[in-house]
Amino acid sequence: MRDFMASKGYLEVETPILQPIYGGALARPFKTHHNTLDMSLYLRIANELYLKRLIVGGFDGVFEFAKNFRNEGMSRFHNPEFTIMELYVAYRDCFWMMDFYEEMIEQVAIALHGSTKVTVGEREIDFKRPWKRYTMFEAIREYTGVDITGMNEDELRKAARELHVPIDDTMGKGKLIDEIFGTHAEPNLIQPTFITDYPVEMSPLAKKHREHDGLVERFEVVCNAKEIANAFTELNDPIDQRRRFEEQLALGKRGDTESMVLDEDFLRSLEYGMPPTAGIGVGIDRLAMIMTNSPSIQMSSFPANAPGKKDCCRIVW
């Protein structure tokens, strides 16, 4: 992946791990304290907002392989510390990024296996282009038979209950749609698949869709029933971005512990001016699971994988 991006002329960089304000993703952070400065800091949940600052500063394309930290549950598909690659390219959009990512991962598979086909457990996954593309609403309709297009929050809550999706009162429209998709559609997506056209409530950092009201220009890639990439046409309007942050603050007051906080420094950078930009985050651990036919994401680097057990630090892959 590094060679592929370097061949395109993009610059590899490093951004801060300790941040005064966490942001760039919907997740709970780990909190720490800096004794000398007597201030609270957070381990980053994403490197997105700092990479975008570099685009504001005039770089045409930057990427980073980063360790991120999210204070949430653990499973063989989730780890509190994990590796991600994020790439931002100026004067591009998410439609361009779909083609770029598809080409890159196809080449990764060929470089590792001499073929686009990879064996994962009892399945064979083929990364040969082109990959299937669904809108989020198409995927939900395909696997539930229910069309949730245009539903308000109460209607979505009723549909989720009828589909036996676990929900709670803190969830807004975006979370409800995400839970329906994650419960019924995502487990059926084994071959690499693009899911596009997300509701605006789910995507506080993505630009509104140029053709469809209420949607944003975003895609995720699902493979082997798990998300392995997430990309946007990046929101570069500071007024709209402030409004989205304020909506996230409102969700936080409702009890959503994964909502974003308002970052005035980032908003100021957008006010200076960020060009139209495409961005993508790639989950390296999950991609490595697929490419190496490994059943678990858990590694020895996080010592609390199995509290109280002597073998909690064993390496699984």
Mean pLDDT of 245-271: 82
Mean pLDDT of 312-317: 38
Indicate whether 272 belongs to any domain: yes
Indicate whether 138 belongs to any domain: no
Confidence (pTM): 0.86
Place of tokens 């980073």: 64
Indicate whether 172 belongs to any domain: no
Residue 295: cis peptide before it, omega within 30 degrees of 0: no
Mean of per-residue pLDDT scores for the chain: 89
HSE, side-chain direction, 13 A CA sphere, residue 102: 17
Indicate whether 176 belongs to any domain: no
CB 267 within 8 A of CB 21: no
Mean pLDDT of 75-95: 91
pLDDT tier for residue 304 given thresholds of 50, 70 and 90 = low
Task: Write the DSSP string, 241-301.
Answer: HHHHHHHHHHHHHHT-TT-----HHHHHHHHH---SEEEEEEEHHHHHHHHTT-S----TT
Indicate whether 179 belongs to any domain: no
- Integer distance in angstroms from the first to the last C-alpha of the chain? 20
Contacts of 158 (CB under 8 A, 6+ apart): none
Q: Is the pLDDT of residue 312 over 70?
A: no
Q: What confidence score (pLDDT) does residue 199 get?
A: 87
Indicate whether 183 belongs to any domain: no
Split into its structural domains, the chain has a count of 1
Q: What is the CATH number of the domain that holds 247?
A: 3.30.930.10
Here the contacts of 242-250 (C-beta below 8 Å, separation 24 or greater) are 242/267, 244/204, 244/205, 245/204, 247/201, 247/204, 248/204
Of 8-17, 196-205, 306-315, which gets the smallest average pLDDT?
306-315
Mean pLDDT of 249-264: 78
Mean pLDDT of 301-307: 51
pLDDT in tens, 115-172: 999 999 999 999 999 999 999 999 999 999 999 998 999 999 999 999 999 998 888 8
Stretch (H or E) spanning 143: helix 136-144
Q: Which domain holds residue 16?
A: 2-131+191-291
Indicate whether 114 belongs to any domain: yes
Distances (CA, A) of 4 to 54, 111, 158, 197, 282: 21, 11, 46, 27, 14
Comparison of pLDDT for 74 and 304, the residue scoring more: 74
Place of tokens 């999950």: 286
Indicate whether 174 belongs to any domain: no
In the chain, the percentage of residues whose pLDDT exceeds 90 is 71
